[in-house]
Amino acid sequence: MIGWIFIVVCTLSLIGISLCVVYDKRPRFLRHVTAITILCIWAAALWTLIRRFSEGLGAVAGVNDLAPWGLWIGADVFAGVALAAGGFVIAATVHIFRIERFKPILRPTVLTAFLGYVLVAVALFIDIGRPLSWWHPLVMWQGHSIMFEVTWCVVLYSTVLAIEISPVVLERLGLTRLLRLVKATTIPVVIAGVILSTMHQSSLGSLYLIVPGKLYPLWYSPLLPVFFLISAVAAGMCVVIVESFFSAKILKRGLESSLMAALGKAASFILFLYLLIKFSDLAASGAWDLLYERNLQSNMFLLEMLGGVALPAILLSFQRIRNREKFLLSASLLVMAGIVLNRINVSWIGMSVHDQLNYYPTWMEIALSLGFITAGTIIFFLAVHYLPVFPKTEEEPPEAISAGSKTGLMPA
């Protein structure tokens, strides 16, 4: 009970801090509140970690034999990977499709993706029962397992992201020769990244293809891999919008408004595509009728589809909304919430039998998840502060200069 009160207070505090940033309100105590909140979350997360490694998962998490995968898999891993999809989308846009005007946001996006994957890897390390054996799938091959493929893709794609973000560090350290080497391999590395991302984003959905009798038919579909991939692309774009917005506020730099609006438009297209395929599939599979059953599953499904997909898709299709920063931000946040809800629905609500939930997360699971989010955010801003992530455009509008070619970093 005390734990839950603690979680609610910390969450409200984080939301309050974010609102202060959004509305440019900087009360004097903001710094202190931020520091205290984050330290409290980290202390709780550390306590969770100590108990998890000494007493086992059962001591800290609500997971059980009926629900072997809990919030750390559903929200931290599934949603985390999806939210980090912006990395391969923007990298492909700039380096494969050669739409160079997106270059100014390439580095922060790849950095976000890289940090996202590092956190996902840490979450997996904590969640698997025998963390010291995490490397087994790399050596003990079992090519019939989706999990085997996902492990390989995540390890390889994290390496790809590390290579993609390495120029930031190399440039800072002035290692020009190594920098030139990395630069020469950019295009093949980006192509490898796109393939690996496509594979494992979809494969996270394929994990559930094996449970036709368990996953509620509103979510179960042979097209699960397609849904996971498409939704990740849209969500990845919206993460770029949100991340750019907060970077602009906190670092007091200009926002690449036209790029953000373009991303919003693209996300809207993809969300409409998702809706089209999703509802055609529901109609074809006969699961449509389940929408009229007013049970937990259908309510959660409608909340996800209407609030997290349809509403932002419609909002983002209006140019007037896309051009207003705060509306664009709100719609993007809706998309992010929608994808988190989708992954939780698939891994938890949909796997429960009707109104009987098979699992209840503990406050400690949420504390560790909040710990991941805050740690990721702080590492991001530390990296931005010490490394040349953003183009140096304090005075000029970002589009005016091609930041990459000016510093000789990115292949022009």
Partner 1 sequence: MNQHTPDMKGFSRRRFLQGVIGGTGLSVITPSSFAKDPGKTSFANTPSVLVDVTRCIGCRACMRACKNANELPDNTDLSEGFPISWEHQELRFDQWTVVNPSTGANANGDAVTRNIKSQCMHCLEPTCVSVCPVGALTKSELGPILYNADRCIGCRYCIMACPFDIPKYEWHSGLSPVVGKCQFCTRNRLSQGRLPACVESCPTGALKFGRRDSLLFEAKARIDSYPDRYINHIYGEKEAGGTAWLYMSDVPFENLGFKSSVETSPMPPLTWDVLSKIPIVAAAMAGLFGTLAWSLNRQEQSE
Q: Give the binding site for partner 1 (CB under 8 A).
A: 52-59, 63-66, 68-69, 92, 95-98, 128-134, 136-137, 140-149, 151, 187-188, 190-191, 194-195, 198-199, 206-207, 209-214, 225, 351
Q: What are φ and ψ of residue 69, in 5° steps?
A: -110, 120
Alpha helices of 174-295 — where are they, by DSSP H? 176-184, 186-206, 224-251, 257-285
Contacts within 8 Å (CB) and 24+ apart, 44-50: 44/3, 44/6, 44/10, 44/364, 44/367, 44/368, 44/371, 45/367, 45/368, 45/370, 45/371, 45/372, 47/364, 47/367, 48/364, 48/365, 48/367, 48/368, 48/371, 49/126, 49/368
Q: From the CB of 396, what's the least distance to partner 1, in Å?
A: 24
CB 71 within 8 A of CB 361: yes
Q: From the CB of 270, what's the least distance to partner 1, in Å?
A: 18
Q: From the CB of 195, what's the least distance to partner 1, in Å?
A: 5
Q: Which is nearer to partner 1, 85 or 310 (CB)?
A: 85
Q: Which is nearer to partner 1, 116 or 225 (CB)?
A: 225
Nearest-angstrom CA–CA distance, 58 and 70: 11
Other Cβ atoms closer than 10 A to 249: 17
Q: From the CB of 69, what's the least distance to partner 1, in Å?
A: 6
Q: Which is nearer to partner 1, 208 or 390 (CB)?
A: 208
Q: From the CB of 74, what's the least distance to partner 1, in Å?
A: 11
| Rg of the chain over all Cα atoms, to the nearest angstrom | 21
Q: Which is nearer to partner 1, 68 or 408 (CB)?
A: 68
Q: Which is nearer to partner 1, 14 or 346 (CB)?
A: 346
Nearest-angstrom CA–CA distance, 238 and 246: 13
Nearest-angstrom CA–CA distance, 313 and 304: 13
Q: Which is nearer to partner 1, 151 or 247 (CB)?
A: 151
Q: From the CB of 54, what's the least distance to partner 1, in Å?
A: 5
Residue 67 token pair: 């629900």
